[in-house]
Structure formats: structure tokens, C-alpha cells
Amino acid sequence: AAPKVSYYATVSADSRCQVNMTITVHLSEPNEGLTFPIPEEASSITVNGRRASVSKKDGKRLISLKKVVGKSTGDITFTVSYNLPDVVHTGDLGTLELQLPMLGGFIYPVEYFEFSVTLPTAVDALPGFTSGYHQAGIEEYLDYRVEGNTIYGNSLAPLKDHETLSMKLAVSEELFPQGLTQIHDWSGCVTGMILCGVLALIYWLWKLRFLPL
């Protein structure tokens, strides 16, 4: 089982999110093939501060824990960190929602789960939670509160094996103005502009070198 899983997320005003998790597992026998699921869009993935080995199986992205667990038994604690590029989306009613995946279906049951989600400014709405087993009924098994710009919470009962958990929160357009437009990766645009500039310079040297640049 996993005696404890701690989830800490920090959301920035550009809708990016930094996630840090601390997981404790109890192994009665070695499990060198143990993996931990992460969101599909996660990047900059590390385990205990080192670059993680990531694979995909049955539609899930999985971090290999072989180097962490090895042939050990008993309680083993490790940290997982990753970035999410865009956690603010337009909801069904056209309003903005923070959509945050928290658990992705870990193979073991989680005996105690705690979390905190920090936003750039004060939270003025209550979050909603859904799970794979209980759907929206998972809220009966969670205790959570809002203090300033942070949402704190914990489980009131053990979570089943392979459980998934996600959080939604209505947010304002003033806080996340880019949420109404597509967030672009500008690296490709910059590369294109540099290429056009180089081609223009080559054309000037070839055809127009005696004219003003």
C-alpha cells in the first residue's frame, strides 16, 4: 500500500503549474517494476531531483521507480516533480475553469492523501472534485478548506488502488486573461523569424548589396 501521498501544486498567472509530490510506499516484498502514473502533458519530470525515466503503457505515462525502490522492502519515500503547461480551460458554460489532475491511478491503495493548491491571488470559489471510483461522490471522503490563495485538503478514508482524482475550480478572466485564447509555443515563431531574416540578408548581399540595407 501507499501509507501517505502528499500533493503540492503552485499555479502561476500564465496558467502554468508546478507540481511536487511526496509518496511513501510500503513493500512487503521487492517490486523493481513499480511505476508511478503522471499526466500526459507533464514535462520536466524528476524523481528525487533527478531526471525520470518515462514510458507509456495502456494509454498512461509511467515513471519508472526501479532506481528508487530496487530490491528494498518496508517503507520507501520518494519525491516526484513535474510541470503542467496549461491548467486553465474554458468550461461547459463558457467560463474559465482550473482543471487539475491530482492522482492518475497508482497501482496501490492510498491510505492517506493530503494536498495544497496555491493560486496567484485569493480564491473566491469552492473547488469540486471527481474520482474514478466515486465520481463527484468523492467529496464525502475529503476534507478541504480555502485560506487566502491556497486550497488545503486531505482524505477522510483510504483511497482505493488505481484511484484517479481531479479538481476543478471556477476562476476569473482577470486572473487568467489568456485562458480565453490558445496559449502558443512561441519557439517555432522565433525560429521562423530568424530564418526569414537570414534569407533577407542573403538576398540583399546577392542582389541589392549596392543599395541601402
- Judge whether residue 119 has pLDDT over 70: yes
| Per-residue pLDDT reduced to its tens digit, 127-171 | 999 999 999 999 999 999 999 999 999 999 999 999 999 999 998
The answer to whether the beta carbons of residues 174 and 124 sit under 8 Å apart is: no
Supply the DSSP symbol for 134: T
β-strand pairing of 17-27 with 128-131:
unpaired
- Judge whether residue 176 has pLDDT over 80: no
| CA nearest to 23, candidates 149, 116, 138, 111 | 111
Q: What backbone phi and psi angles, to 5 degrees, belong to 179?
A: -65, -20
What residue type is assigned to position 34 of the chain?
L
| Per-residue pLDDT reduced to its tens digit, 24-75 | 999 999 999 999 999 999 999 999 999 999 998 888 899 999 999 989 999 9
- Mean pLDDT score, 177-201: 67
Report pLDDT for 191. Answer: 80
Cα-based torsion angle of the residue sequence 107, 109, 111, 113 in order, rounded to the nearest 10 degrees: 60
Say what the pTM is: 0.79
β-strand pairing of 4-11 with 113-118:
parallel
| Per-residue pLDDT reduced to its tens digit, 192-205 | 888 888 888 888 88
Rg (CA), the chain: 22
